[in-house]
Chain A
Amino acid sequence: MNRRRIKSHSDLEKLRQEILAKRDLQKTRVAICAGTGCLALGAQKVITSFKEELKKQGLENTVEIRETGCPGFCEKGTIVVIYPEGFYYLQVQPGDVPEIVEKTLIEKEPVERLFYTDPITNEKAIYEDEIPFYKNQMRLLIGDNINIDPKKIEDYIAPGGYSALAKVLSEMSPEEVIEEVKSANLRGRGGGGFPAGRKWGTTRNAPGEPKYVIVNCDEGDPGAFMDRALMEGNPHSVIEGLIIGAYAIGACEGYIYVREEYPLAVENTSIAIEQARDYGLLGRDIMGSGFDFDVKIFRGAGAFVSGESSALMSSLEGKVGAPKPKYIHTSVKGLWNKPTNLNNVETWANVPLIINKGADWFNSIGTEGSKGTKIFSLVGKVNNTGLVEVPMGITLREIIYNIGGGIPSNKKFKAVQTGGPSGGCIPESFIDTPVDFDELTKLGSMMGSGGMIVMDEDTCMVDVAKYFTDFLVDESCGKCVPCREGLERMSEILTDICEGVGKEGDIELLEELSVVMKDTSMCALGRTAPNPVLTTIQYFRDEYDAHIEEKKCPAHVCKALIEYYIDGEKCTGCLACLKACPEGAISGEKEVVHTLNTEKCSKCGICYDTCKFDAVIIR
């Protein structure tokens, strides 16, 4: 599409007014989440049914359908919001669409059964701000997602998008921008928490031309999708931040490194870049300021280690994505040995906010050492899984219970793993810890990029440590000895412990190995890899001891250490488990107590799940 180039701040403002003037705020609008979570739950079908139904009713010109980015409540997808009323429908199925069209769009009445129902009080929540999941968040970055069609730049400009860029280009010098980001105390959201302003300053002052800026969207942690939701749902906020950063640093070329596994993010970002270029927000002479900058998308092949800055740059250069020794920082000698500033998606997205609202405002949110908000992907054994954006300093308990709605089926909370596979497990005794870069590090965990996996009493902590270690064994690049050999040995020892052949001294060996891996590994992957092992040993040593000494798995997870049997007093002889058992290990007759042959038993647990009388017992 041919768009008119924006040549100044007032041009942008004029365009914004034009977009707003064209909008009829009273026009009925159906916002449907088309983020990955909802798409997986069938959002595409819901969208199609809406289109068909509107056509059938002859409403296609009076009702606007907007396919938006992810608002975060993935547990209850597909999410449909009807404006101007603001009715917030959850778990919408294609079959619900005719009713919504009939009742809400025509008669303006709500469909009550699709509202959020409080699990305890059974009260309905009609609007977004009534739902506890949203009520307790502070959604500065993802709050607008439900209003924005990521494929339309106009949706971003309408509420004030690109005004921060206009302000920077027309009123601020690059040094002032860096000063502003520095005084906002914005810390990198990718894991390390390095002050972004300082890094920008280093790159700006480093010798060498050209300079580069990079968006790191190589999010590969199991269970994390914060960056993905931002790139898919609101790519312009990241691009705006990147252009501001490029201006401040003096870069004329930028890259967005997105992993190939995120096709929607690649698609939406490509469209966004194209549209920004059309408006003259990218390319030569941006907004008539004389500043040239353009950005390219680079699709990574999906190695976890490529999220590490020097590995990412190797990958961008066309080499194998393996880290390089970094005694000279990448901000001085990075991509093609030129000064390169790399920041995470979320860090870039924070920049326009800081410019628009000021460093003081940003400093008013959060704790002493960590400012602003942080997006977490709250997953695992928690009622409301999804993306949550909270101010720094909120406690883990608030996130898990107030926002996450607690643990399903009244189980007991056991631990929460923050910071992705190389973060640590935090036990219940520290659940009131505020979320803060330094506080989490003190506990042996880390903020990481924002994964948060909640575990309940049915989780074996040794098994968890083994899971994450195995993940890292696969993802280690294998370049340096402590990471490659150390991780493999660590996994070997943990496997032994889980299989009941752990020896005395294994825990000490794990600890010794961990210390050396932390000390000597080349990159952050190896240096943080022992975190899950160390924290589980620190906080759940009794479980390790039970595995090694008593050959028992207290959580009944490690198959080699458990045994199923049938409690004769509880068994009613209903035959349910007998029929379900894939191994034919259960014998018995109707209304006669069944017996389980442990030699045939494969410990799959199907009988345990099938029994309605709790007669199958694990010991």
Chain B
Amino acid sequence: MKKMTINGIVTQVEDYWSILEACRFYGIDIPALCYHDGLSPGGICRLCVVEIGKGERAKLVTSCNYPVEDGLVVRTHSERVIRARKMLVELLLARCPSSKTLQDLAAKMGVQRVRFKVKNENCILCGLCVRMCAEQMGAKAIGFAGRGKERRVTPPFDIKSEVCRNCGACMYICPVCQLRCQGPEPPNVVCGACMNVEPVCLQDNEDVMCYLDTCGWCFKVKSSSLKKKSGYGKERKEGE
């Protein structure tokens, strides 16, 4: 066991854990799009960054692949971390605005606008499918091709691979393409239809939230009335 501090709490963690595993064990929610329990960590989406170290030596590291250490001091939601995560979500959302996962994440983190030109891609290149295919299915039927902005996931030479068994694991594990968000209009990008407001329960249910996390269910039901109340929809149409 190793001893480390997470958000001021001294914790005992297993030697082989990553910071992310340790944090999740202690119930701290850290967003991660390219991480999956059953696969090797990728360190690609960078959303799981946490701040370690003190003073000038403090730095952000991806918690999914940073091994736990004795005496490590971790801050999972410091200002620097939140600022970085928000920018990353904004970048991802500008790339794939139709992903419900990303829209929900944006809503949860309070990303209110996207200041970049919208691309409408389908894939955030997190590589979960590639790792799934290689590590769990043992097929290696897909991989990355191209460099930089040309990077894409594809079978070798862009033709269907002979080793692909149509198992569908790649689709199953995809964090963004599976659930399509019907909400966003390209000019607005952040739809906010389901979650992108402060929790409704707070206003409607005398400051009580039904869950610890914002689920947004009640908001969906009452969205039309709420939009009128806050003038939210009107403001959006005019564009920011």
Contact = CB atoms under 8 A, between A and B. Distances in A.
Interface class of chain A by DSSP = helix
B148 A519 contact: no
Interface in A502-559: 505, 509, 512-513, 515-516, 519-522
Interface of B: 41, 43-46, 49, 59-62, 65-67, 80, 83-84, 87-88, 91-92, 94-95, 115-117, 124-125, 144, 146-151
A484 B151 contact: yes
Given A327-B61, A519-B60, A492 B88 contact: no
Interface stretch (A180-188, A414-422, A474-482): A474-482
Contacts of A473: 148-149
Closest 7 CB pairs of A and B: A478-B151, A485-B91, A516-B87, A478-B148, A476-B148, A325-B43, A520-B46
A327 B80 CA distance: 20
Nearest to A520: B46
A101 B115 CA distance: 68
Given A325-B41, A479-B151, A480-B46, 11 more contacts: A476-B147, A476-B148, A477-B147, A478-B125, A478-B149, A481-B88, A485-B94, A485-B95, A489-B116, A519-B59, A522-B62
Contacts of B59: 519
Given A519-B49, A519-B80, A480 B43 contact: yes
A511 to B, nearest CB: 11
A327 B44 contact: no
Contact of A481 (B83, B124, B144, B147): B124
A482 B91 contact: yes
Contacts of A488: 149
A486 interface: yes
B49 A520 contact: yes
A515 B44 CA distance: 18
Interface in A172-229: none
Nearest to A522: B43
Contacts of A515: 83
A72 to B, nearest CB: 33
Given A489-B91, A520-B84, A474 B148 contact: yes
B65 A325 contact: yes
Contacts of B44: 479-481, 522
Contacts of A512: 83, 87
A618 B36 CA distance: 58
A153 to B, nearest CB: 39
Contacts of B94: 485, 489
A303 interface: yes
Nearest to B86: A516
Contact of B65 (A327, A478, A492): A327
A485 B148 contact: no
A484 B148 contact: yes
Contacts of B67: 327-328
Nearest to A477: B147
Contacts of B45: 480-481
A576 interface: no
Given A489-B94, A489-B116, A520 B148 contact: no
A320 interface: yes
Contacts of B87: 482, 512-513, 516
